[in-house]
Amino acid sequence: MPFALSAYCYSPLPDGFIRLLRVMPHRDEHAPIQCQLFEYPFLDSGEGPDLYDALSYVWGSRENPQHVFTDEGYLRVTNSLYAALLHLRDRSLGRIIWIDAICINQENKGEKGEQILRMAEIYSRASRVIVWLGEAKNNSDQALEDIRLAADADFPVNTLNKQAILTLLQRPWFERIWVLQEVAAARSILIKCGLTEIDGYAFCKGLNSGSLDLLGKATPDLRNLIHTITYLIERATFRRKKISRSSTTFSLHIRPLGELIDMYHTREATERHDKVFALLSMSSDDPTSAGIRPEYDLKWGKLMKRLVSFILRRSPSDRVSIDTWDERATAVIKSKGCVLGRVEVKDVNNESGGGQNIQATIRTSPGGRLSGSTPWRLHISAKSVQDGDLICLLQGALKPMIIRLQEDHFTIVLITAEPPKSVHIGNGDVEWTKFAQSASFIRDFMLVWDW
């Protein structure tokens, strides 16, 4: 294959197709990377995986890009991706991989939006998802090997380099929001750092090893990052891998979008829009019904308003005010509502995806007839629920939120919380729906949701 002197020019993708990259083999590990980019019909392929790998990685800086070559032109790639391709290239056989930076025309926003909506399905239908953590440094390749050894109950853990493992876990890949759906959708996962690789199951088992007690030495933020990744990897086997014939979109159905936003909005993303778009195919509800889909031309303020309206299940006729801005990730909500009660945090458990076990002293607003308390388990969120936080129900909302009193307003801690099935009142239990119906929406609220 001769080296092309001009840049690759993308052709429009036919409906129902994706692109795949074939990395050509070479015995010289330092030789320039030669590839073939081809279109692939992404229709119902029956049972079993499609015969390609999907890459999960961090793009890295776009400065001083490298080049990979096809017979139709060269493609610019980041140094991070180039290093991954060098390590993935085989000496004898071509390798077929789906890589977002190459297989999506990043300059075509329409195609980008459509393909992003397919990404969870692309990863779910891949034979394997390969996680590239980067080149080996600071004993990181040995750290990955030590995690594998820790998964073996018979291995003496006192010989492992725990500090090197903690350093490896602080790499940028663990902070990115896009990697969540990439590992959650995977049939099989291979994690690579330099020349060292480990199976995804062994990675989780090693990190969760009680004898290793590794994450007990990590900061709370790092523990939360890693527990989220291991939780999604461990449960990936049980999630759907094919789109149903009755459905037009693919979703992993993990949680409602509002809960996902609560949990993951502090994760890193190149574009602010991605903090929403990266979670759409993980949601168990249907955000596209509210016009929430990957549209990069949509102003941030408009996207934020659609998001809040969808989470609160508001229609234009509802008497609620939602103010948003293009330059900041903040929404100000004004609505009638009531305080149902106060929170007392019993304990926090973020193991295996985790949650917060809270005791909620719940009552109706002033003048209400019912009061009581109930244990309540909430999802772990970017903002932790604290003692004294308030349980608020806005007029017309289906689910309560957790808010915190400030000087002249309330801040939103959780914008949506799955309510308990019932509230213990007196000598019996009252179903949540009946309890909520007894509330009196007499208070005007100004709520600030700030990411």
- pLDDT at res. 245: 42
Q: What is the mean pLDDT of residues 403-420?
A: 93
pLDDT band at 365 (very low <50, low <70, confident <90, very high): very low
Q: What is the mean pLDDT of residues 393-403?
A: 90
Q: What SS3 state is found at 203?
A: helix
pTM of the model as a whole? 0.90
- pLDDT at res. 48: 75
pLDDT tens by residue, 10-57: 999 999 999 999 999 999 999 999 999 999 998 765 667 899 999 999
Q: What SS3 state is found at 434?
A: helix
pLDDT tens by residue, 126-176: 999 999 999 999 999 889 998 998 888 666 666 678 889 999 999 999 999
- pLDDT at res. 439: 80
Dist CA 238 CA 258 (whole Å): 22
Choose among 165, 180, 147: nearest CA to 269. 180
Which range scores top for mean pLDDT: 60-64, 93-97, 268-272?
A: 93-97
Output the CA–CA distances (angstroms, integers) from residue 338 to 261, 309, 345, 417, 444, in the order listed. 23, 19, 21, 15, 8
Q: Would you say the C-alpha torsion 98, 101, 104, 105 has a positive or negative sign?
A: negative
Nearby residues of 441 by Cβ (< 8 Å), 6 or more positions away: 336, 337, 338, 365, 393, 394, 395
Around Cβ 187, how many Cβ atoms within 10 Å?
A: 18
Choose among 401, 404, 337: nearest CA to 364. 337
Burial of residue 180 (CB within 10 Å: 0-12, 13-18, 19+) is buried
DSSP string of 105-154, one letter each residue: -TT-HHHHHHHHHHHHHHHHHEEEEEEE--S--TTHHHHHHHHHHHTSTT
pLDDT tens by residue, 109-133: 999 999 999 999 999 999 999 999 9
Kindly state the DSSP code that residue 7 receives in the 8-state scheme: B
Burial of residue 368 (CB within 10 Å: 0-12, 13-18, 19+) is middle
pLDDT band at 281 (very low <50, low <70, confident <90, very high): very high
Dist CA 184 CA 255 (whole Å): 12
User: Do 108 and 10 touch, CB atoms closer than 8 A?
Assistant: yes
